[in-house]
Amino acid sequence: MTSGAVRSDSFSLASLEPVDLPELEGSGNLLQSGFWGDFKSAAGWTPRAFRWTSDTRSGTFEGRFLVLERRFPGNLRMAYIPYGPALPDEIDADAVAVSNLLAAIARALKSHLPKGCFMIRFDLTGGTRGKIYPEPLNRPLRPAPYRVQPQDTVILNLESDEAGLLAGMHKKTRYNIRLAAKKGVKIRRHSGDDTLKSLPGWYELYRETGLRDGISLHSESYYRRLIENAQAARAVGRFGEGAPVISLYTAEHEGDTLAGIIVARTGSRSVYMYGASGVLKRELMPNQLLQWTAIRDARNEGALEYDFFGIPPADDPSHPMHGLWRFKTGFGGDILHYRGAWDFAFKPVVYGLYRWAEKLRGRLAALRKKSA
């Protein structure tokens, strides 16, 4: 038995073409789309896709997931599953069942990956809306020393009307939205060629934000490629609903650009991916009006939820990003705590060295944020 909920004799794994993921997965999870695999391929990752099936107590479950594979010197490789794989609810509530199932998936994947692959990292969603730290998983899985994706987030349900969404916000957030509009802050949603023309100005603000908050950024070309790839994919219908609508919003006042955000809508979910803001005219509260405009657009275009994509784990004033908690939770919504990133080692010695290097990287990143 794989676990109390999954029969190992019914477990199977098969390869897919990454381009088939959107038609088969419909979850709105951008990081598990064929589009995302194609986009990351330009940054040195090899995308692979798989289908797995297994019998559970409630019937046969079929899941699909994207794996990104990266090459290192010495023909070594690692495999990474961003925000996946999605698990059936009856298993996701049981840490022992999750541990056993992920170990079964990892062992099955080994024969599909290059011989030099020394580990696989599962960056999981699931988890809980209650406990800050979901129940830990069991060996041979180990908690990753470094996480790429946010482990905690706020997701706003968009099924209410605008009055209901405003009523669900903190009163200070509602006040700041109205203040920005009253003071003449204008929000522009850029589209088509105008998006790419406006990107350099946004990126300058984004660099300022990164320096201020100690955040590592990609080059401007990374965000340009994201927008160009999404526009090209949607123009020809590639990836189906897995090709996102990428929107760049800027907040402007009397000729000054004060802030800007990039939002991606895939299927029924819109995700606030990147945000930039300067110190100029911050008292006009442009960021709240930016988010409210993006939320309204997402709802009007059929999205059912808006993901703020990352907050600190708790309402802790001592946390260096506590301001981010106050800002994002001010819009209401549900706070989710994901299981986070867990590693399965194929080559323990190589993995141990890599783990040590990642811990060092994490300490250096923490020092940068502390000194910012």
As annotated, the residues of the chain forming the CATH 3.40.630.30 domain(s) are: 154-336
**pLDDT tens digit at each of 372 positions of the chain:** 344 444 455 789 999 999 888 654 456 899 999 999 999 999 999 999 999 998 877 788 888 999 999 999 999 999 999 999 998 888 888 899 899 999 999 999 999 999 999 999 999 998 776 677 788 999 999 999 988 899 999 999 999 999 999 999 999 999 999 999 999 999 999 988 999 999 999 999 999 999 988 888 999 999 999 999 999 999 998 888 788 999 999 999 999 999 999 999 998 999 999 999 999 999 999 999 999 999 999 999 999 999 999 999 999 999 888 999 999 999 999 999 999 999 999 999 999 999 999 988 877 766 666 665
Alpha-carbon span 289 to 180, nearest angstrom: 6
> Based on the number of CB atoms within 10 Å of its own CB, is 200 exposed (0-12), middle (13-18) or buried (19 or more)?
exposed
Alpha-carbon span 168 to 154, nearest angstrom: 13
**Residue in 36, 43, 45 with CA at minimum distance from that of residue 18:** 36
pLDDT for the residue numbered 5: 45
Stated pTM of the model:
0.92
For residue 73, is the peptide bond before it cis, meaning its omega torsion is within 30 degrees of 0? no
**Cross-strand partners of 184:** none
Alpha-carbon span 346 to 118, nearest angstrom: 5
> Which DSSP state fits 319?
S
The token pair that represents 48 in the structure block: 């692979």
The CATH superfamily holding the domain 154-336 is Gcn5-related N-acetyltransferase (GNAT) (3.40.630.30)
Alpha-carbon span 174 to 157, nearest angstrom: 17
Alpha-carbon span 322 to 300, nearest angstrom: 31
Please report which helix (H) or strand (E) contains residue 305, including its range: strand 305-307
> pLDDT tens, 195-241?
999 999 999 999 999 998 888 899 999 999 999 999 999 999 888 87
Instruction: Let me know: does 331 contact 270? Beta carbons within 8 Å.
Output: no
pLDDT for the residue numbered 197: 96
What class is the 8-151+339-371 domain? alpha beta
What does the H/E/C string look like for 201-245? HHHHHHHHHHHHHCCCCCCHHHHHHHHHHHHHHHHHCCCHHHCCE
Alpha-carbon span 205 to 72, nearest angstrom: 33
Alpha-carbon span 280 to 259, nearest angstrom: 9
Q: How far is CA 137 from CA 3, 40, 134, 144, in A?
A: 13, 28, 9, 11
Residue matched to tokens 């760049």: 248
Q: Taken in order 232, 233, 235, 241, is the CA torsion positive or negative?
A: negative
End-to-end CA distance of the chain: 50
